[in-house]
Amino acid sequence: MIEADKNQEIIICRDVHKWFDSFHALKGIDLTVEKGEVIVIFGPSGSGKSTFIRCINRLEEHQKGQIVVDGVELTNDVRNIEAIRSEVGMVFQQFNLFPHLTVLQNIMLAPSWVRRTPKEQAHESAMQLLKRVGIPEQANKYPGQLSGGQQQRVAIARALAMQPKIMLFDEPTSALDPEMIKEVLDVMIQLAKTGMTMLVVTHEMGFARAVANRMYFFDEGQIVESGTPNEIFQSPKEERTKLFLSQILSH
């Protein structure tokens, strides 16, 4: 029983294909994530890595193959999708905070209206989350008044407020100034250590080395290579992986 729980497969992707008009963006992705795993996906731009994780909460629809999240297959059934989305948190490259709402309102909105959490309770857990990401003093400000790093931490808190089972990160640090990247990565590393299942599209190899269980190298819509961070960094098998790693690690 315990063994089964430990190895529970929470995301199963089988032969996932996606086209944008005639452009074949994903060409048969097979990938399985177990509960509590931290997966890092990297690869050149246009390789389909963002498209792939956006398929997992159906911000993009896959057109062939099968995606099963937490035992529910993603189909066009709207109720299924909304159920999945409230179990899967997502953090975007551009933060996408709601600019007309305060930090607190940003975090409380979904729990209050989707989960129907009572206001006091939603408020309390929002404040706890803000403490966890280190910016409780910003609760009543508007996103526009915060730095990029602070905004991204609010975005993480907002996603966590729904108590998701899975967190997706779509290049969470790519839009940040260098001095702010660390504060966001620290929050993500903490989160990984609590046992959250995470799929992270990123080029922050330090983060991958620190917490990733497995890494996937995407190129041209396919998984070129996968393995533990050690395998990927020490002995990459594919030429393309070597080349790409040398390019992003060289500076």
Partner 1 sequence: MTAIEMQPPRLSVGPFAWLRKNLFSTWYNAALTLAVLWLLYALLRPAIQWTLTEARWGVIEANLTLFMIGQYPRDQLWRIWLAIYMLSGMIGLSWGVWREAARGFAFIALGAGIAFALIGLLLNSDVWINWLIADAILLALYAFGRILPGRGASIASLGWLLYFPLVLLLIAGTRLIPWLSSVPSRLWGGLLLTLMLTIVGNFGALPLGILLALGRRSKLPIVRYFSVGYIELIRGVPLVTILFMANLLVPFFLPVDVQPPDTVIRVMIGFILFEAAYQAENVRGGLQSINRGQYEAAQALGLSGALTMIFIILPQALRAVIPALFNSFISLFKDTSLAAIVGLFELLRIGRAVLAQSEWLGTHREVFLFLFIVYWGFSMAFTYGSRRLEEALGVGKR
Q: How far apart are CA 215 and CA 219, in angstroms?
A: 13
Q: How far apart are CA 197 and CA 53, in angstroms?
A: 13
- Residue positions counted in the chain: 251
Q: How far, in Å, are 156, 190, 248 from residue 134 at the CA level? A: 11, 12, 30
Shortest Å, Cβ 225 to partner 1 = 29
- Regarding 140 and contact with partner 1 (CB under 8 A), the answer is no
Q: Which of 109, 127, 175, 210 binds partner 1 (CB under 8 A)?
A: 109
Please answer whether residues 66 and 14 qualify as being in contact, where contact means their C-beta atoms are separated by less than 8 angstroms.
yes
DSSP letter assigned to residue 137: G
- Regarding 57 and contact with partner 1 (CB under 8 A), the answer is yes
Shortest Å, Cβ 129 to partner 1 = 14
Shortest Å, Cβ 2 to partner 1 = 30
Q: How far apart are CA 121 and CA 152, in angstroms?
A: 23
Q: How far, in Å, are 6, 43, 223 from residue 3 at the CA level? A: 5, 33, 29
Q: Which of 110, 176, 196, 232 binds partner 1 (CB under 8 A)?
A: 110
Q: Which of 6, 14, 64, 100 binds partner 1 (CB under 8 A)?
A: 100
- Regarding 92 and contact with partner 1 (CB under 8 A), the answer is yes
Q: How far apart are CA 216 and CA 241, in angstroms?
A: 10
Q: How far, in Å, are 16, 168, 207, 217 from residue 51 at the CA level? A: 11, 12, 21, 14
Shortest Å, Cβ 143 to partner 1 = 7
Shortest Å, Cβ 57 to partner 1 = 6
Q: Which of 32, 86, 174, 213 binds partner 1 (CB under 8 A)?
A: 86
Please answer whether residues 38 and 212 qualify as being in contact, where contact means their C-beta atoms are separated by less than 8 angstroms.
yes
- Regarding 118 and contact with partner 1 (CB under 8 A), the answer is no
Total residues binding partner 1 (CB under 8 A): 28
Q: Which of 16, 29, 31, 88 binds partner 1 (CB under 8 A)?
A: 88
- Regarding 85 and contact with partner 1 (CB under 8 A), the answer is yes
CB under 8 A: which stretch of 78-86, 128-136, 171-179, 232-240 binds partner 1?
78-86
- Regarding 72 and contact with partner 1 (CB under 8 A), the answer is no
Q: How far apart are CA 60 and CA 58, in angstroms?
A: 5
Q: Give whichever of 200 and 215 is closer to partner 1, judged by the CB atom.
A: 200
Q: Which of 99, 118, 195, 206 binds partner 1 (CB under 8 A)?
A: 99
Please answer whether residues 114 and 139 qualify as being in contact, where contact means their C-beta atoms are separated by less than 8 angstroms.
no
Contact positions toward partner 1, by CB under 8 A? Answer: 57, 59, 82-83, 85-86, 88-90, 92, 94, 96-100, 109-110, 113-114, 142-145, 155, 158-159, 162
